[in-house]
Amino acid sequence: MVHLKTKGMKHIFKIFVLISLIVVGVSCKKKDEAAPVRDQLIGKWQGETATPSVSAFGIDLSEVNQPFKIDSVTIDLMADGSFSSTTGSQTVNGTWSLQSNDTQIKLDGFTFTLPNIGNFPLTGVKIPDTYTLQEVTDSRLVLKATISQSITLPTIPLPITVTGDLELVFNKK
């Protein structure tokens, strides 16, 4: 036990203890805190897979609801809120913003064409411009869009409503 004999020594000791506590407190701050969502999104993303989960009244869509590769799709999200997206040889530009307390991203101008799968032409389905951020890390981005749209198939003369979700997975380039 330390015995301090003078008031001056006690005062210096208290200052020393206070400074020590401040130094320890500052050095113990979390160093592995995740970057804000916006910072994690900025960069170039390479498409990996798209997985539809759609249904339409009276039509078996099990053939459609299978993952497919989207490695020809890239999205470059820039810090100024603009983006450039390439699908194959087609490039489009637009703007992006976070929505709903950083749980959604809105991509104004983003286009993504679903391929024909089997006998079911999904090319008539328009993908919305707002996506829920399912997963955001420094290296992986998973977006989910809700689809609800009427389309007309060549084999059926009446419009059918297609509903469901589309999950898009990207990896940081």
Q: Is residue 148 part of a domain?
A: yes
Q: What is the CATH number of the domain that holds 133?
A: 2.40.128.280
The pLDDT, as a whole number, for residue 26 is 46
How many domains are contained in the chain? 1
Using the predicted structure, report yes or no on whether residue 109 has a pLDDT greater than 90. no
pLDDT band with cut points at 50, 70 and 90 for residue 46? very high
Q: Is residue 1 part of a domain?
A: no
Whole-model pTM: value is 0.73
Q: Is residue 17 part of a domain?
A: no
Q: Is residue 154 part of a domain?
A: yes
Please give the Cα distance from 58 to 162 (Å, whole number). Answer: 11
* Full residue range of the structural domain in which residue 167 is found: 37-172
Nearest 5°: the CA angle 122, 94, 86 is 55
Lowest mean pLDDT segment, chosen from 42-46, 59-63, 99-103: 59-63
Please give the Cα distance from 23 to 19 (Å, whole number). Answer: 6
Please give the Cα distance from 116 to 67 (Å, whole number). Answer: 13
Q: Is residue 5 part of a domain?
A: no
Distances from the Cα of 146 to the Cαs of 53, 83, 125, 165, in angstroms?
9, 21, 11, 4
CB 82 within 8 A of CB 107: no
Please give the Cα distance from 131 to 124 (Å, whole number). Answer: 19
Please give the Cα distance from 74 to 157 (Å, whole number). Answer: 36
Q: How do residues 7-38 score in pLDDT, each as one tens digit? A: 555 555 555 555 555 555 544 444 456 679 99
Q: How do residues 135-160 score in pLDDT, each as one tens digit? A: 999 999 999 998 887 776 666 777 77
pLDDT band with cut points at 50, 70 and 90 for residue 123? low
Q: How do residues 51-87 score in pLDDT, each as one tens digit? A: 888 787 767 677 778 888 889 899 999 999 999 998 8
Three-state secondary structure of 94-133: EEEEEECCCCEEEEECCCCCCCEECCEEHHHCCCCCEEEE
The pLDDT, as a whole number, for residue 56 is 78
Q: Is residue 30 part of a domain?
A: no
Q: Is residue 144 part of a domain?
A: yes
